[in-house]
Amino acid sequence: MKDLIQGMLVAAIEALQAEGRLTIETPVIPQVTRTKDKAHGDFASNIPMVLAKFVQLSPRELAQLIIENTSASDLIEKIEIAGPGFINFYLNSDVQRSVLETIETQGEAYGRSNVGLGQRLQVEFVSANPTGPLHVGHGRGAAYGATLANLLSAVGYEVSREYYVNDAGRQMEILATSVWLRYLELSGEELVFPANGYKGDYVWDIAASLHREHGNSLSHRVQTVFEGVTPDITQGGDKELHIDALIARAKELLTNHYQLVFDLALHTILGDIRNDLEGFAVTYDEWFSESDLMGAGAVENMLKRLEDAGHVYQHEGAKWFRSSAFGDEKDRVLVRENGQTTYFASDIAYHANKLERGFVQIIDIWGADHHGYVPRVRAALQALGYAPERLSVLLVQFANLYRQGEKQQMSTRSGEFVTLRELRKEVGKDAARFFYVMRRCEQHLDFDIDLAKSESADNPVYYVQYAHARVCSIFHQLEQKSLSYEPKNSDLTLLTESHEQDLIVSLVRYPEVLHSAAINREPHQLATYLRELANYLHTYYNAHQFIVEETLLRNARLRLVSATRQVLRNGLILLDVSAPEKM
RNA sequence: GCCCCGGUAGCUCAGAUGGAUAGAGUGGCCCCCUCCUAAGGGGCAGGUCAGAGGUUCGAAUCCUCUCCGGGGCACCA
């Protein structure tokens, strides 16, 4: 529709230029937008005001000229000049009403489009280290990423959802060692647990299953374990060095059984993460392992490419990437003095790998605390010869959890956090998913647990779901009154009430909303739209009867609410929120 | 100190690439079930869009500066 109006304007302007009544250097694409106020018609263009300065005419005079040169269209009822020089377009209401037929025909496909042309995109999200359960902060990234992926796929992209499993770093070693130490305690040993080890209950759980399977066979006397582990934290030694020494000790004493402990910890936690996400209706096409990537030599490979391209230098025993040459604020270490590659190095290799897999664009969803990381990754991709625009990073701000007006504290290490699982059990999948995407990702999110739990008018999720259930209920009533729904036996021109017009316009707008939400990566637009649509439905419901005597009117109204139900459903599906038939 | 995000009604937030009197929800007050679920609807009150400059026919929106929140600035991951 927008395109059509744009086309009309372009044609009119070209006609004026041909007549020599308008001379404009650069070709312009007229801006056409939906009006906020229906008193201004359905669509408006500001083009006269934009062009007026190039000609010796006032915007309103120019508007008049443009309108005179606009060819008539069945779709447009009237065109008006308004305000300082807007051109307002009023759509033919028959055309508007035809959306009901479109919705009936397309059903679940209504709103979807093919602007993505089947191009392959990848969305990587959550990717939390498998060193503990997901907490509510991860939930936001999960909901945001999953919804965005749904939206992109709805507008015609081929989307791959990926979770990057950081199963190769030092944190995993700390986890494995933490599990083993807890296991020693279960075997009857007494020890001082390292301050920076993982202390959550889940570590005890994993240790317990280790003990169940292996008895005391993996146990060593605590004196043996801590012998020669320096520095000693009880004497105020450095805790980082202390835990590194403990890790080395664990590997030494457990020999090939170390891997067993490591794998048990990894698989247990990864399994939990996967379950938690599935319970959240978040699923992935790929769980990509960091250690597999490293095993395949990807990091060495990448290092060589960077070195060959001359972007790497030695300094104080370490290998540095000259990222400052690509817009980063300073250079970054790739290989440490001790020979170990940094997390950054494997991250470059990972991103290069993603691009090599043929995605037109890769989208990373990160916590806002990682923002400083963006320039260096982009710099590295550029240095490797990739167009840096192929990576887009979306930063999601923190989610704060409120319970009875009190902010809840979260910390993975101390083990005092609200897990995603607890949240889901408490507020349910639907409310959690909806709440997480109600806000723009740049906005801090205050997640009010009590509100999400309340089965009341305050709760926006129920508000939208209730609209859906209400329509279902109408059709249920219809049956009870021994009437049947006959869409063919209807007269849509009877839908003249302002409430009906509002609802129809809102339905027409749905595909535009999907498009905008997907392209701008703003799922909250869909959530906001659904609340608005539900509002129109509820208002209409209160103002008019649907099950009326006149058959033609009754069926017309039923078609309208039925189409509304369809759109509510379509939108909720994209949010992975259920559309209940009864509440 | 530098970098990122935010500052819109008492509270939580929308405001689509700058556009026509700044909108919801919630809280406060008033009204609406002999009627398809009142988990609903209607109305009233409530704003110097943090502040100051600038660009523009036109700014909550773009630019600069200031103030106030949140986060980040490792040979950690």
Which residue gives the smallest C-alpha to C1' distance to B26? A458
Query: Is the pLDDT reported for residue A420 higher than 50?
Result: yes
The pLDDT of residue A415: 46
Whether the model pTM is above 0.90: yes
Burial class (CB within 10 angstroms; exposed 0-12, middle 13-18, buried 19+) of A311? buried
Q: Nearest nucleotide, C1' to the C-alpha of A446? A: B12
Which residue gives the smallest C-alpha to C1' distance to B69? A444
First-to-last alpha carbon distance for chain A, in angstroms, is 37
How would you classify the pairing of strands A43-45 and A32-34?
Answer: antiparallel
Å between A457 CA and B45 C1'? Answer: 22
Å between A148 CA and B74 C1'? Answer: 33
Total residues belonging to chain A: 583
Would you place residue A384 in the very low, low, confident or very high pLDDT band (cuts 50, 70, 90)? Answer: very high
Q: Tell me the C-alpha distance between A181 and A185, whole Å.
A: 6
Which residue gives the smallest C-alpha to C1' distance to B57? A49
Please list the residues that pair with A120 across neighbouring strands: A158
Query: Is the pLDDT reported for residue A72 higher than 60?
Result: yes
Would you place residue A125 in the very low, low, confident or very high pLDDT band (cuts 50, 70, 90)? Answer: very high
A264 vs A191, A271, A343, A393, CA distance in Å? 22, 10, 23, 33
Q: Tell me the C-alpha distance between A396 and A285, whole Å.
A: 22
Q: Nearest nucleotide, C1' to the C-alpha of A540? A: B41
Å between A408 CA and B18 C1'? Answer: 40
Q: Tell me the C-alpha distance between A358 and A121, whole Å.
A: 9
Structure tokens at A217: 């066979």
Q: Nearest nucleotide, C1' to the C-alpha of A317? A: B75
Which residue gives the smallest C-alpha to C1' distance to B13? A439
Structure tokens at A573: 């599906």
Å between A446 CA and B58 C1'? Answer: 35
Å between A288 CA and B66 C1'? Answer: 47
Å between A444 CA and B6 C1'? Answer: 8
Q: Nearest nucleotide, C1' to the C-alpha of A438? A: B13
The pLDDT of residue A25: 59
The pLDDT of residue A20: 74
Q: Tell me the C-alpha distance between A307 and A301, whole Å.
A: 10
Which residue gives the smallest C-alpha to C1' distance to B71? A369
Amino acid at residue number A454: S
Would you place residue A413 in the very low, low, confident or very high pLDDT band (cuts 50, 70, 90)? Answer: very low
Q: Tell me the C-alpha distance between A559 and A566, whole Å.
A: 10
Q: Nearest nucleotide, C1' to the C-alpha of A519? A: B16
- Kindly compute the dihedral angle of the four CA atoms of residues A219, A220, A226, A228, in this order, to the nearest 10 degrees: -140
Backbone Cα Rg of chain A: 30
Q: What is the separation of C-alpha A431 from the centre of its chain, rounded to a whole number of angstroms? A: 16
Structure tokens at A427: 């507020």
Å between A526 CA and B27 C1'? Answer: 26
**A14-48: per-residue pLDDT in tens?**
888 777 777 665 566 778 888 877 778 889 888 88
Give the pLDDT mean for A420-445: 90
Q: Nearest nucleotide, C1' to the C-alpha of A372? A: B72
Would you place residue A412 in the very low, low, confident or very high pLDDT band (cuts 50, 70, 90)? Answer: very low
Least confident of A159-163, A194-198, A450-454, A570-574: A450-454
The pLDDT of residue A417: 59
- Per DSSP, the three-state class of A164 is strand
Which residue gives the smallest C-alpha to C1' distance to B73? A372
**A326-374: per-residue pLDDT in tens?**
988 899 999 999 898 999 999 999 999 999 999 999 999 999 888 889 9
Structure tokens at A43: 């669509």
- Per DSSP, the three-state class of A341 is strand
Query: Is the pLDDT reported for residue A376 higher than 70?
Result: yes
User: A53 or A269, which is more confident?
Assistant: A269
Å between A203 CA and B4 C1'? Answer: 35
The pLDDT of residue A26: 59
A511 prior amide bond cis, ω within 30: no
How would you classify the pairing of strands A120-124 and A286-289?
Answer: unpaired
The pLDDT of residue A547: 93
CB A512 within 8 A of CB A446: no
The pLDDT of residue A449: 84
The pLDDT of residue A571: 97
**A181-194: per-residue pLDDT in tens?**
999 999 999 999 99
- Kindly compute the dihedral angle of the four CA atoms of residues A208, A210, A211, A215, in this order, to the nearest 10 degrees: 170
Task: State the average pLDDT for chain A.
Answer: 90
Å between A473 CA and B35 C1'? Answer: 15
**A524-573: per-residue pLDDT in tens?**
999 999 999 999 999 999 999 999 999 999 999 999 999 999 999 999 99
Strand B contact nucleotides, protein CB < 7 Å: 2-6, 12-17, 19-21, 24-27, 32, 35-42, 57-58, 69-77
**A470-500: per-residue pLDDT in tens?**
999 999 999 998 899 999 999 999 999 989 9
Å between A26 CA and B11 C1'? Answer: 49
Q: Nearest nucleotide, C1' to the C-alpha of A347? A: B77
Which residue gives the smallest C-alpha to C1' distance to B11? A405
Element (H, E) at A307: helix A298-308
Which residue gives the smallest C-alpha to C1' distance to B70? A444
Would you place residue A401 in the very low, low, confident or very high pLDDT band (cuts 50, 70, 90)? Answer: confident
Å between A378 CA and B5 C1'? Answer: 20
| Percentage with pLDDT > 90 across chain A | 63
Q: Nearest nucleotide, C1' to the C-alpha of A539? A: B41
Please list the residues that pair with A333 across neighbouring strands: A320
The pLDDT of residue A322: 95
**A231-260: per-residue pLDDT in tens?**
776 666 778 888 988 999 999 999 999 999
The pLDDT of residue A409: 67
Å between A301 CA and B4 C1'? Answer: 32
Q: Nearest nucleotide, C1' to the C-alpha of A48? A: B57
Å between A87 CA and B21 C1'? Answer: 19
Q: Tell me the C-alpha distance between A441 and A298, whole Å.
A: 32
Dmax of chain A from CA atoms?
98
CB A574 within 8 A of CB A483: no
- Per DSSP, the three-state class of A44 is strand
Q: Nearest nucleotide, C1' to the C-alpha of A371? A: B4
User: A139 or A56, which is more confident?
Assistant: A139
